A and B are shown apart, each in its own frame.
Chain A
Amino acid sequence: MEEAKYKYIGRSVPRIDALEKATGKIKYMSDLSLPNMLFGKILRAKYPHAKILRIDTSKAEALPGVVTVITHKDVPGLNGFGIVVPDMPVLCKDKVRYIGDAVAAVAAETETIAEKALSLIEVDYEPLPIVDDPEEAMKEDAPKIHEEGNIHLHTEIKRGDVEKAFKEADLIIEETFFTGRQDHTPLETEGGVAFVDEEGNLNVYVGSQYPQRDQLQLARCLNWNPKKIRVVSYPVGGAFGRKDELSIQPILALLAIKAKRAVKITLSREESMIAYWKRHPFKMHYKVAFKNDGTLLGVDAYLVEDKGAYSSLGGPVLNLAVEHACGPYRVDNVHVDGYAVFTNNGIAGAFRGFGAPQTAFAIETIMDIASRKLNIDPIDLRKKSALRKGDKTSIGNVLSTSVGTELVLDGIRESNIWKNREELRKISTKPWLKRGVGVALTYQGTGLGVGIPDYGGAILSMNEDGSFSVRVGTVDYGQGIGTSYAQIVAEAMNIPIEKVKVVLGDSFLTADSGPTSASRGVYTGGKAALIASEKMKKTLKEKVSKLFKTDEDNVEFGFGYVYDKVSGNKVTYEELAKNFKEEGKLPEEEGYFLVPTAEIKIENAFGLPHHIFAFSAHTAYVEVNTLTGEVSVLEGAEAVDGGIVVNRQGFEAQVEGGFVMGMGYGLTEHLAIENGIVKNPNFSTYIIPSIKDVPKRIETIPVINPEDTGPYKAKGIAETVMVATAPAITNAIYDATGARIFSIPATPSVVYFAIKEAESEENFD
């Protein structure tokens, strides 16, 4: 086995932050308190769509204990932010576009006073018609949310001849699908503190996924020199894509600057759910052509993304959905037509999977329907068209990096559930409880895609005691990349992992390593850390060769020391560090890694194609109560191709967490917005899986498929592990009951009525 030669890579290494997290010792940004600190609160829109006629803050300002009130007038720079298009106002000036839009903010001595002050701010509105149906919003005469119109992005891809494919098809499946508005529900809501220090630097301590980009976005809003803005974005209490984009940071910064004091904001769960990012709901119409032997002849897909009120990453999400619309299959006749459309339905942005979970639900349901209609085993059917290295993807780029489609399908075939599925589905404890098994396959582009700067960066320095510090901008928000970086440096430098200190997410201290998103954390930051380690070794070799007066080639690395293989002389890292120190300064090296990209660009589809992909096959074993529609997921399994696994324990945790997040997506989670108003903004009504809903066993099957470009041949798996869980479950529901699910979440009610419909069709037949 490849990994047998390693001390750390591929092993189960406990998280380096496990103890401080388990004991609660770690301080998240929302735990921070500073002396003489103020509390900030944000006034949100009163209507989901309205003109602002007048804002009067005088009464709030007059309230004792209120230090600062801010409105759009206080935004010195660009009153807008957004990773792609900065169209979301920091504080709205003449219009609000969703119910969470920020209109004003207050900093006061106590939270209660700040709350009271909000109620004293007078805002006059002229309500506008609410646009809540993306397809209505696309019509010419629909009320406009943004002046340029409601269609944010249209991406259309054509390959081959779909019409011809339909003519030649033995089987055509045509269906419409809906997916829900999932909230990331990180444990930590948006929160943190900001202050201006003695040197005049603005410090913003808010957990996020990319400190350097936060720094630049803030500089643009504040009209400040970015070099004077320190963003500390680690530790983060969970993110999953939600904290890629800014949220409260510009308001917090403005309050701190104007008040000349430290200010803290922490959002309640309700405010967080109403005001910030979600997964985009999609409506998808698919028409798919098959041959009797299972050949996938053609796919025609029409995708409508409910963008919500502002752009953020909604464009790239649409494009990734378009890219993944046909699944990891070889298909030469393709027409994918996607629209991202503005509505007043909250805001949506990046979320684990980034457009892939939506289309995976559609295409994997269709594969299941096809396998039944064609009477071909579902894994065999998928294998028939599974992408292999050298194949063209549905959007036409040639896969030249590692491809694990067949490996994960073979892997899942060996899972407990799949091997024993015939017996498992027969188990019946009561006549109304039906069991079934479902499978689904997916892949996920890693990294940012063509045309977007995509690099990893790491600074590695030797400390006085002979230990090393690695400083990377990407953050550990639970996925465990900090531990992986430590493993990579420990492995490369041949030192105990305890001797690696990891510093993450600090715009002043860490190397810019791009966003912590797109399954790229280990791949990019890890590779940069590896490159920095190699440089460091070179520097140490030079030093030691001088020290022992030997040739550099004779210098080798032992575990925690360096030696001359000719003389046998050795020097520990600690001694070396002393030596460096005496002669001047301790060594520091930087590693940068440019992520390889595809050789082609897809016309009119920014960012496409991706070049490196992770693959996974998921299976679920469910029991459905046909009387109530309740679904119990009894067991799950995932076979995942993430290249060479860096941390076995982290890998398993990702699979388990991803599967459960996929369960929530498939079965319960949807933020209901009616007429622009959120109906279920808390955990009593927005339903995420509880520990009692989690299956007793989620089997993790890593397939070993080295990715040559990655650090120790690893690639990212953080997204793919959640993507195909929902269709695996809904396919299992069908297997159990004969009820086909076209809309997720498949709540008990959705499942119950689907069963009823299936039964009445059966009676009719």
Chain B
Amino acid sequence: MKEIDYFFPKTLEEALQILNENKGSMRVIAGGTDLVVRLKQGQVKEDRLLDISRIDALKGIEDRGEKIYIGATTTHTEILEHPLIKTSVPILHDAIKSIASLQIRNIATIGGNVANASPAGDSIPALFVLNGFVFTKSIEEERKIPIEEFFLGPSKTSLKENEILVGIEITKMQDDEVGFFRKVGQRKGTAISVVNGAVRLKKDSKPNRFSKAFVSLGAVAPTVVRAKIVENALESEEIDSLDKIMYISGLVFREVSPISDVRGSLEYRRDVSINIIYEGLADLFLNGFRRS
């Protein structure tokens, strides 16, 4: 591993200042669970690290009425232990619970999961369907970016060189909303997603009908994607049989462009991206679309 200069600012202002001064040669580090792996593999070009894990302003979860704000360096464990998350955004709760192992979740952050921009990042599909926004800051400006616009490709985001991701905002689920997160890895514990996905549905007054549907899938395209065709079908059809659900899930096929790699083949990813949406919807259907 190469030698690096390590910076430990205490305030956000200080951090933004340092980052600005070292633009281009400095990388932000939070929990380091993605970054250190890459560092060891010689895949990090910057030789300075800005550790933001001790900045209070970047930590914590805030109840903002219909919304929830999560500071970037809040760890996965802190998120899971917060009562608001489990009750108001169970989809995110399930997604984060599926990440890595307890030891990793104790230091890894949600900001890191997002900024890392892996197409397989597990919190991301959940943030997609929960109407997520990314908040960024630099010494010049503050931005609020819809999560879908944040990702440009694998490991590529719209963050500028002097910007820090400061937090994430999501919309709480209402009582008339149901949904799920589902991931398929190569094993149960500590596995990177081969395919993952999340769905949120807003129930209509008529049974088995939905006024709003959000569907997202990960690890099947260069970034996490929304499956708009599937969403449209869910909003226009009556979801009254498993056959209907299979038909709608099959539309996922048109939204994904997976590749083959060491974790899974194109064919497997394509089929299973359909099937996890089917599985989750079928589960909800068999449960009478009740919030469990």
Contact = CB atoms under 8 A, between A and B. Distances in A.
B187 A668 contact: yes
Which residue, B101, B186, B187, has most C-beta atoms of chain A within 10 A?
Answer: B187
B278 A627 contact: yes
Contact of B186 (A679, A691, A747, A753): A747
B189 A627 contact: no
A694 to B, nearest CB: 9
Contact of B187 (A672, A687, A753): A687
Nearest to A680: B262
Interface residues of A, number: 28
B286 interface: yes
Interface stretch (B13-21, B121-129, B233-241, B269-277): B269-277
Nearest to A630: B184
A672 B114 CA distance: 30
A266 to B, nearest CB: 15
A567 interface: no
A623 to B, nearest CB: 12
B188 interface: yes
A628 interface: yes
A748 B189 contact: no
B272 A627 contact: yes
B186 A632 contact: no
B187 A752 contact: no
Interface string B242-275: 1000000000000000000011110110011001
Interface stretch (B58-66, B141-149, B156-164, B190-198): B190-198
Interface string B47-82: 000000000000000000000000000000000000
A668 B186 contact: yes
A545 B1 CA distance: 69
Output the residue of A687, A747, A749 with the most chain B CB within 10 A.
A749
A752 B271 contact: yes
Nearest to A433: B279
Contacts of A672: 262
A632 B188 contact: yes
A680 B190 CA distance: 16
Contact of A691 (B189, B263, B264): B189
A628 B272 contact: yes
A687 B186 contact: yes
B283 interface: yes
Contact of A752 (B242, B262, B272, B278): B272
Interface residues of B, number: 27
Contacts of A430: 282-283, 286
B186 to A, nearest CB: 5
A689 interface: yes
A689 B279 CA distance: 24
A628 B279 CA distance: 9
Contacts of A73: none
Interface string A258-296: 000000000000000000000000000000000000000
Interface string A671-707: 0100000011000110101111100000000000000
A679 B262 CA distance: 7
B180 to A, nearest CB: 13
A693 B268 contact: no
A432 interface: yes
B189 A692 contact: yes
Given A432-B279, A627-B278, A680-B262, A752 B189 contact: no
Interface string A626-638: 0111101000000
A632 B189 CA distance: 12
B187 A689 contact: yes
Given A749-B265, A753-B268, A690 B275 contact: no
Contact of B190 (A630, A668, A690, A748): A690
Contacts of B276: 627-628
A672 B194 CA distance: 17
B186 A627 contact: no
Interface in A643-692: 667-668, 672, 679-680, 684-685, 687, 689-692
28 contacts: A431-B286, A432-B279, A432-B282, A627-B272, A627-B275, A628-B184, A628-B276, A629-B272, A632-B188, A667-B187, A668-B187, A672-B262, A684-B37, A684-B192, A687-B187, A689-B187, A690-B101, A690-B188, A690-B191, A692-B187, A692-B188, A692-B189, A748-B184, A748-B268, A749-B264, A752-B271, A753-B267, A753-B268
Given A680-B262, A753-B267, 4 more contacts: A430-B283, A431-B242, A627-B272, A628-B279
